């Protein structure tokens, strides 16, 4: 059985409308005004019911909703409906009467219901109670897809096989409370279209705009409709690692693909590495959904190699999820309040303000969730001014709530934050974390107790990649905690002391350089950070010492280039003068190596000595002239490191030294190709060189024709090396959700918001 009593009158009407169309095969003309004489819906025509009987005339549909759990329909519930039916029969508007209810209807009750309405003059009566409706939900996948809220209202073991159910449980551990509040939005429909057409969708939006909910709905639908192997991953490399070419229905879900609360450049580099491998995955039938905050994606797209994965450029695949209609906002607010943990007295008191809340320009789904949780509203005065502030100042209000938590709760949140949002359970404290907890006035036992108390409101315990992890209930909790850190220098010191250097590189900035959601460290904390960076010589990401040291050096250089003020860089160079030697001779793949970005940053703030700048310019110029890398011509940041005369000299050398060797350069590229590489991605640097030569000043028509000829030869080589299009795997589509007529009603959607499970029928 499904918990239909939690739907609310409006969603129950929508469900009945969908059942009438999908199961009973009738297109209802409209759901009518709630004051229109006892008809929630109507149609006129012919209906072929089960058993072969053909009915004609006017049909009336009446929905009887009750918020009372395990309710059974009584005669008194239908007294008014019978009188209304008599009047409709007299007007010739009711030859047949269809009663749909979420209350229980026994066989005996079905008999007396039909007798009541036939005595009123109705020729044919059909009764559909909660058991019948639940059965249709269990038996009909398309119905569940059309009303995805249903995934959160029942026992999925009844409708999914054992393997799919085990996967669903992993998702539901974190998402069950959200799935039962789901509202089908235009963004959800667009996401389905993108998945069906391309096999891929990227959901972007501001924090708490509903990306996670849409992704979970897609995952549940894929499990339900195809028994898809659904994997929720946190690393790009794990996508290709877990891909099975012989299992075409795999569904991959990656949250916060380019960073959780801030942009993380290493994540994008890892995406760039696997993007060419994703195309054959999609051709074989795999589906991929990714999410990203809007401000993080806007930074990531500058570094993503969209040429390697053109779908990222297609607007129909990148979906902004925060474009909600007024009706969608009202339904989201209704669901979170109705199914939240607020007492009935609170819902009654806030009821007059709900429409204004939903129409507020700062309203987002997370606003509704917080209003449904007493922990977030215990200090909220129920009047228009304070409610407007709650919605308008949602970030500041959350920070104030965090400040009021007890020491153990604050320390528990600190542990999650220091672990970059993923705290493994059972918790094993590091020495530095134990010291931090001591200074925060807490200990491991206090934190464990606090985590259990905060579960569901501020934190959740989920299962990911084979382990249980404590996470923030929503990333906005992490945002607010970062802002709270800034209020106390002592807390910043505790945070730095208790964090590993590898974590700090992606959470702090040394000075305010404009990175959103970063923990901005003042100059008083610079000495502490210098000590932490001195410790960072190896990363735990790799098993081999060489890769570990290499990647640690690169991450440190990117931190200096992207997250440090001039004041901090001066201190760092004084303590580490050899850094200047590292940037003067960058390696190939100039658009990716960290030394280039660091050299550009040092030059920008006036900290790169002239001799180091000249050596850098010479190195990148030689790469271009040798036909290895054209970034010196194409990258605006590198271009700014040249003087006017130096750039002119580079152009002269390109014409004099590279053009005569162009055929040999192309052949060298082709000769050095390895078959395990994507041919188009491999040859792209050479195509960039061709493009640069065509745009180079002082090039005549004959030279342009030579470059274009070699470019054609390179593209012919790509075609020769590219295997024929693989046969597309078993093609699967999620059921598309078309726009349907909406119930028209003068009844307020919030009318029964304060009804509880002891309430009667409506």
- Tens digits of per-residue pLDDT, 489-547? 777 887 787 777 877 888 889 999 888 778 889 998 999 899 888 887 665 554 455 55
Question: Do 209 and 475 meet the contact criterion of CB atoms below 8 Å apart?
Answer: no
174-193 pLDDT tens trace: 565 666 777 888 888 888 88
From residue 366, alpha-carbon distances to 209, 370, 499 in Å are 7, 6, 29
SS3 state of residue 665? helix
* Interatomic CA distance for residues 267 and 234, integer angstroms: 10
361 and 225: one domain?
no
What pLDDT is stored for residue 321 in this prediction? 67
* Interatomic CA distance for residues 146 and 128, integer angstroms: 20
Within a domain: 442: no
Take residue 362 and report the two structure tokens written for it: 């700062």
Beta strands in 37-149 (DSSP E): 41-48, 54-64, 96-101, 124-128
Q: Which region among 84-88, 140-144, 338-342, 347-351 has the lowest average model confidence (pLDDT)? A: 140-144
81 and 32: one domain?
yes
366 and 304: one domain?
no
CATH number at residue 57: 3.40.1350
CATH number at residue 245: 3.40.50
186 and 252: one domain?
yes
What pLDDT is stored for residue 607 in this prediction? 96
Within a domain: 432: no
- DSSP run (H or E) holding 179: helix 162-179
Take residue 241 and report the two structure tokens written for it: 């690692």
Three state DSSP letters for 327-347: HHHHHHHHHHHHCCCCCHHHH
Domain boundary among 295, 320, 345: 320
Within a domain: 504: no
**Number of C-alpha atoms within 13 angstroms, CB side, residue 508?**
31
How many domains does the chain divide into? 3
SS3 state of residue 190? helix
* Interatomic CA distance for residues 100 and 136, integer angstroms: 13
b/e map 587-603, b = 16+ CB within 10 Å: eeebbbbbbbbbbbbbb
What pLDDT is stored for residue 720 in this prediction? 87
Question: Do 64 and 760 meet the contact criterion of CB atoms below 8 Å apart?
Answer: no
Angle in degrees, 0-180, between the axes of helices 545-562 and 594-604, rounded to the nearest 10: 30
Tokens 């499970």 belong to residue: 757
**CA angle at 141 for the pair 139 and 146, rounded to the nearest 5°:** 125
What pLDDT is stored for residue 26 in this prediction? 66
Within a domain: 713: no
* Interatomic CA distance for residues 97 and 74, integer angstroms: 18
For the segment 207-217, the average pLDDT, to the nearest whole number, is 81
Average pLDDT, rounded, for the chain: 82
641-692 pLDDT tens trace: 999 999 999 999 988 899 899 999 999 998 988 877 778 878 888 888 888 8
619-640 pLDDT tens trace: 999 999 999 998 898 888 899 9
172 and 126: one domain?
no
40 and 58: one domain?
yes
245 and 345: one domain?
no
Q: Which region among 239-243, 308-312, 527-531, 661-665 has the lowest average model confidence (pLDDT)? A: 308-312
The residues near 696 (Cβ < 8 Å, ≥ 6 apart) are: 633, 651, 654, 655
Peptide bond into 426 cis (omega under 30): yes
109 and 257: one domain?
no
Take residue 416 and report the two structure tokens written for it: 């999650």
- The helix, strand and coil proportions of the chain, stated in percent and rounded to the nearest 5, come to 55, 10, 35
Q: What are phi and psi of 312, to 5 degrees?
A: -65, -20
Does the pLDDT value for residue 124 go beyond 50? Answer: yes
Measuring CA to CA, which residue among 394, 378, 387, 400 is closest to residue 474?
394
Does the pLDDT value for residue 412 go beyond 80? Answer: yes
Beta strands in 449-576 (DSSP E): 459-464, 467-472, 508-510, 519-521
As separate numbers, helices (DSSP H) first and strands (DSSP E) second, the chain gives: 36, 15
The residues near 165 (Cβ < 8 Å, ≥ 6 apart) are: 156, 157
Within a domain: 513: no
* Interatomic CA distance for residues 148 and 166, integer angstroms: 19
224 and 330: one domain?
no
Q: What is the pTM of this model?
A: 0.65
What pLDDT is stored for residue 163 in this prediction? 57
229 and 349: one domain?
no
* Interatomic CA distance for residues 383 and 349, integer angstroms: 9
* Interatomic CA distance for residues 236 and 221, integer angstroms: 23
Instruction: Give all strands of the β-sheet with 287-293 in edge-to-edge order.
Output: 230-233, 251-254, 287-293, 200-205, 318-320
b/e map 241-260, b = 16+ CB within 10 Å: eebeeeebbbbbbbbbbbbb
* Interatomic CA distance for residues 594 and 322, integer angstroms: 35
What pLDDT is stored for residue 172 in this prediction? 58
Within a domain: 165: yes
* Interatomic CA distance for residues 293 and 329, integer angstroms: 20
Take residue 78 and report the two structure tokens written for it: 């239908």
358-405 pLDDT tens trace: 999 889 888 898 899 898 898 899 999 999 999 998 888 888 888 888
The range of the structural domain enclosing residue 280 comes to 156-320
29-47 pLDDT tens trace: 544 444 445 556 566 666 7
360 and 254: one domain?
no
* Interatomic CA distance for residues 609 and 603, integer angstroms: 8
| pLDDT confidence tier of residue 761, bands split at 50, 70 and 90 | very low
Domain boundary among 361, 376, 392: 392
135 and 65: one domain?
yes
* Interatomic CA distance for residues 285 and 245, integer angstroms: 9
Within a domain: 22: yes
b/e map 52-65, b = 16+ CB within 10 Å: eeeeeebbbbbbbb
Question: Do 181 and 334 meet the contact criterion of CB atoms below 8 Å apart?
Answer: no
* Interatomic CA distance for residues 694 and 707, integer angstroms: 7
Domain boundary among 392, 407, 436: 392
What pLDDT is stored for residue 337 in this prediction? 92
Total residue count of the chain as it appears in this document? 762
For the segment 121-133, the average pLDDT, to the nearest whole number, is 90
For the segment 116-121, the average pLDDT, to the nearest whole number, is 91
Within a domain: 397: no
From residue 565, alpha-carbon distances to 81, 354, 436, 514 in Å are 73, 46, 27, 10
């Amino acid at each position: 059985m499904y918990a239909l009593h939690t739907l609310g009158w409006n969603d129950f009407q929508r469900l009945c409308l969908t059942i009438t169309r999908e199961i009973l095969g009738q297109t209802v003309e409209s759901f009518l005004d709630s004051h229109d004489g006892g008809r929630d819906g109507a149609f006129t025509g012919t209906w072929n019911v089960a058993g072969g009987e053909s009915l004609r005339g006017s049909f009336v549909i009446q929905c009887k909703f009750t918020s009372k759990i395990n309710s059974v329909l009584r005669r008194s519930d239908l007294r008014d409906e019978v009188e209304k039916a008599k009047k409709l029969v007299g007007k010739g508007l009711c030859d047949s009467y269809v009663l749909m209810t979420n209350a229980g209807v026994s066989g005996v009750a079905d008999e007396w219901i039909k007798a009541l309405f036939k005595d009123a003059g109705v020729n044919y009566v059909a009764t559909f109670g909660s058991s019948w409706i639940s059965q249709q939900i269990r038996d009909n996948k398309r119905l569940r897809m059309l009303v995805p809220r249903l995934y959160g209202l029942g026992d999925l073991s009844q409708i999914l096989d054992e393997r799919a159910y085990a996967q669903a449980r992993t998702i539901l551990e974190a998402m069950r409370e959200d799935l039962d509040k789901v509202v089908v939005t235009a963004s959800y429909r667009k996401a389905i279209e993108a998945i069906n057409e391309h096999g891929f969708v990227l959901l972007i939006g501001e924090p708490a705009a509903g990306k996670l909910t849409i992704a979970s709905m897609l995952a549940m639908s894929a499990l339900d409709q195809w028994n898809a192997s659904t994997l929720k991953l946190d690393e790009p490399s794990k996508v290709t690692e877990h891909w099975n070419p012989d299992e075409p229905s795999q569904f991959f879900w990656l949250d916060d693909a380019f960073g959780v609360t801030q942009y993380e450049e290493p994540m994008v580099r890892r995406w760039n590495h696997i993007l060419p491998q994703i195309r054959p995955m999609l051709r074989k039938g795999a589906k991929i959904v990714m999410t990203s905050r809007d401000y993080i994606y806007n930074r990531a797209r500058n570094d993503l190699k969209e040429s390697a994965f053109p779908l990222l450029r297609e607007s129909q695949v990148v979906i902004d999820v925060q474009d909600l209609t007024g009706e969608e906002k009202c339904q989201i607010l209704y669901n979170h309040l109705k199914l939240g943990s607020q007492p009935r007295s609170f819902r009654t008191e806030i009821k007059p303000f709900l429409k204004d809340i939903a129409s507020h320009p700062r309203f987002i789904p997370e606003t509704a969730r917080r209003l449904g949780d007493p922990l977030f509203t215990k200090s909220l005065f129920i009047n228009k001014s304070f409610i407007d502030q709650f919605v308008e100042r949602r970030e500041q209000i959350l920070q104030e709530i965090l400040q009021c938590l007890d020491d153990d709760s604050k320390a528990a949140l600190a542990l999650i934050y220091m672990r970059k949002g993923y705290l493994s359970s059972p918790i094993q404290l590091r020495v530095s974390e134990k010291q931090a907890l001591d200074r925060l006035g807490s200990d491991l036992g206090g934190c464990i107790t606090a985590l259990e108390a905060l579960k569901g409101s501020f934190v959740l315990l989920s299962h990911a990649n084979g382990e249980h992890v404590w996470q923030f209930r929503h990333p906005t909790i992490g945002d607010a905690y970062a802002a709270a850190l800034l209020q106390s220098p002592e807390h910043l010191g505790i945070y730095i002391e208790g964090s590993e250097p590898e974590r700090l590189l992606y959470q702090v900035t040394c000075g305010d350089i404009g990175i959103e959601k970063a923990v901005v460290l003042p100059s008083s904390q610079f000495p502490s950070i210098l000590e932490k960076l001195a410790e960072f010589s190896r990363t735990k990401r790799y098993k081999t010492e060489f890769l570990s040291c290499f990647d640690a050096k690169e991450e440190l250089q990117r931190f200096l280039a992207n997250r440090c003020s001039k004041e901090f860089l001066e201190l760092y160079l004084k303590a580490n003068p050899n850094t200047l030697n590292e940037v003067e001779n960058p390696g190939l793949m100039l658009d990716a190596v960290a030394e280039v970005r660091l050299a550009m940053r040092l030059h920008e703030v006036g900290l790169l000595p002239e001799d180091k700048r000249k050596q850098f310019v010479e190195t990148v110029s030689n790469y271009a002239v040798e036909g290895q890398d054209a970034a010196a011509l194409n990258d605006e940041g590198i271009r700014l490191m040249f003087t006017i005369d130096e750039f002119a000299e580079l152009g002269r050398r390109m014409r004099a030294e590279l053009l005569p060797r162009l055929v040999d350069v192309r052949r060298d590229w082709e000769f050095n190709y390895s078959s395990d590489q994507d041919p188009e991605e491999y040859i792209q640097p050479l195509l960039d060189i061709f493009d640069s030569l065509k745009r180079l000043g002082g090039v005549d028509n004959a030279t342009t024709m030579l470059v274009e000829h070699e470019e054609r030869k390179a593209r012919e080589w790509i075609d020769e090396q590219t295997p024929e299009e693989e046969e597309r795997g078993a093609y699967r589509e999620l059921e598309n959700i078309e726009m349907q007529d909406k119930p028209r009603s003068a009844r307020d959607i919030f009318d029964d918001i304060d009804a509880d499970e002891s309430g009667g029928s409506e």
